[in-house]
Amino acid sequence: MILSRIILGLLAIAPLSGADLKRHFDSTVNHFWSADKAQIYRTLAALVAEGLASVTVVPGTGAPDSQEHRITDAGRAALVAWLTSELDRQPERDAFIARIFLAESLDDEAVGRLLELRRSAALGQLAALEAIEASTGPARTRGEHLRLATLDHGLRHVRTELEWLDIVEEQLP
Amino acid sequence: MILSRIILGLLAIAPLSGADLKRHFDSTVNHFWSADKAQIYRTLAALVAEGLASVTVVPGTGAPDSQEHRITDAGRAALVAWLTSELDRQPERDAFIARIFLAESLDDEAVGRLLELRRSAALGQLAALEAIEASTGPARTRGEHLRLATLDHGLRHVRTELEWLDIVEEQLP
DNA sequence: CACCCCTAGTAGACTTGTCAACTAGGGGGA
DNA sequence: TCCCCCTAGTTGACAAGTCTACTAGGGGTG
């Protein structure tokens, strides 16, 4: 459900193929959602079956043909309906924090290793977010403004994560 | 997999029944994991089948009998193995941020409503975390220290969220 | 007593997401 | 030419998580 609406939202910005979408889920929107390619193609097929999107085959130049999907009017309506619907409560899920919570049988060194792994993951995210930030100019349209705000959201949380790691590591020895 | 290890970790702190675990997933550990009761009971059965936990029926006083699960030696070994294994990379998933990212067809008022919903959710989480914080004394053991650190993690992120909401709402009109 | 509600635990169907292997065609290099 | 690799898309099996409805017993209330 959520994935289908996110895809619809991306199609509302521009027509895309399954491979294009996969690229988005691996980069620009990766900071709030990701998706397996199998799932993307199946969702796309479902959207077409429901009449929320349409397909046209675009002959590939030096690459396989791609199936460009565009949002339909019904699709736009479904998108707005979702955007304004009740917020789906989302469960927090953080396996790393779970480990720290349960780590009493580990020695300081092992906990330190876990923290270091988390730090490098966080630094990776930070770099990815900064790369996106650098590659987008200043917000000119309403849409760009909103997208920048979500980028900022990601950056703030990653920085908070790094600060927390500093503090916890300091307390360890 | 992750859920089974988290349950194992909780059983390592104290023996618990399925209902006890459900209470934990709804309160103390809710800030990093939650679980459906059907899933908890099935996982518990699997742990027993694998020999990682054992059950004893405890006659209920004024309530149905409960099945107390305790971790076995094999269970402790499996727990440590998980705690020190490679970090499972976890995909970010935030349907609310997705909406903001895709909200260009919404007017400011509708976006403002979304932000307000998110704010009240965040305030609810903040209250829940502060309630847990208030109900736990200062950390005396190693385990308590680590658990407090994860609470602090949650608090910091919730506060970051509230700050971000302030800034975005300020920029809206 | 009959009724209702509460807790502990169970079961089935279903949705969502993941993994791995596969087709099909183009292009490039030995 | 043969082989390999790349991209786009497809499929099946499966794991994880959710939703709904259910059994079974205790206890309190009219």
- Partner A, chain B 25-84, Cβ-Cβ below 8 Å: 29-34, 76, 79-80, 82-84
Give the whole-angstrom CA distance, residue B56 versus residue B69: 7
Segment A78-99 shows an average pLDDT of 94
User: What architecture is the A2-83 domain classified under in CATH?
Assistant: Orthogonal Bundle (1.10)
Packing angle of the helix pair B142-171, A142-171 (nearest 10 deg): 160
pLDDT of B137: 82
Quick one: which H or E segment has residue B77?
A: helix B73-83
Give the whole-angstrom CA distance, residue A120 versus residue A118: 5
Give the whole-angstrom CA distance, residue B92 versus residue A150: 13
Query: Is any atom of nucleic acid chain D found less than 7 Å from the CB of residue B35?
Result: yes
Percent of chain A with pLDDT over 90: 87
Segment A60-75 shows an average pLDDT of 89
Give the whole-angstrom CA distance, residue B62 versus residue A119: 49
* B98–A6 C-beta distance less than 8 A: yes
Give the whole-angstrom CA distance, residue B113 versus residue B169: 10
Residue-wise pLDDT tens for chain B (173 aa)?
999 999 999 999 999 999 999 999 999 999 999 999 999 999 999 999 999 999 999 886 777 889 999 999 999 999 999 999 998 888 999 999 999 999 999 999 999 999 999 999 999 999 999 999 998 888 889 999 999 999 999 999 999 999 999 999 999 86
H-state helical runs in chain A: 2-13, 18-26, 37-49, 73-83, 95-101, 108-135, 142-171
pLDDT of B23: 96
Convert the pLDDT of each residue in A15-39 to its tens digit: 999 999 999 999 999 999 999 999 9
Convert the pLDDT of each residue in A137-159 to its tens digit: 888 899 999 999 999 999 999 99
Quick one: which H or E segment has residue B62?
A: none
Length of chain A: 173
- Partner A, chain B 105-144, Cβ-Cβ below 8 Å: 105-106, 110-111, 113-114, 117-118, 121, 141-143
Tokens of B130: 């502060």
Give the ipTM: 0.94
Q: What angle do CA B38, B44, B47 make, to 5 degrees?
A: 145
pLDDT of B118: 96
With beta carbons less than 8 A apart as the criterion, state whether B93 and A91 touch. no
Q: What angle do CA B163, B169, B173 make, to 5 degrees?
A: 155
pLDDT of B59: 81
pLDDT of A106: 96
Quick one: which H or E segment has residue B66?
A: strand B66-71
pLDDT of B138: 86
A140: Cα separation from own chain's centroid: 22
Give the whole-angstrom CA distance, residue B143 versus residue A105: 8
> For residue B103, what are the contacts with CB-CB under 8 A and spacing of at least 6?
A83, A146, B110, B111, B114
Query: Is any atom of nucleic acid chain D found less than 7 Å from the CB of residue A63?
Result: yes
With beta carbons less than 8 A apart as the criterion, state whether B75 and B52 touch. yes
Tokens of B100: 């903001």
With beta carbons less than 8 A apart as the criterion, state whether B104 and A143 touch. yes
* B171–A149 C-beta distance less than 8 A: yes
* A160–B117 C-beta distance less than 8 A: no
